[in-house]
Amino acid sequence: MENQNLIQQLLILGLGTTSMVADRLREASDRLVENGELDPEGAKTFVNETIENLKAEQGNWEQQFERQIRNTLQDLGVPRQAEMDELRGRIDRLERQVRELENKLWERR
């Protein structure tokens, strides 16, 4: 569960970074318009297109980031949830078998 929380926090950080970049982009385009280096309509179009591209690429970035995190965790030997569930099931079965054997031993005494 901690890994999922870490991934969520990093993705939120990415969203915040994207938002900050969009704000800075707007500020820069406003300055260019004020200085007469860019017309207002061109600035608006540029900012909107850039923000849309950032949003579109953010989804790709999130998938790549999650894939990289999974690969890193695998390289470190951290088991996946499915593997943990399987091991828990095996432990439960072994504990049950041990209890059954203990009960048989008690019955023989």
Q: What is the mean pLDDT of the chain?
A: 81
Find the DSSP H helices in the chain: 2-34, 40-75, 81-108
**pLDDT tier at 62 (50, 70, 90 boundaries)?**
confident
What pTM value is reported for the model? Answer: 0.42
Look at residue 77 and give its three-state secondary structure: coil
Question: What is the 8-class DSSP label of residue 35?
Answer: T
> Which pLDDT belongs to residue 60?
73
**pLDDT tier at 1 (50, 70, 90 boundaries)?**
very low
**pLDDT tier at 97 (50, 70, 90 boundaries)?**
very high
Using alpha carbons, select from 17, 25, 32 the residue that is nearest to residue 48.
25
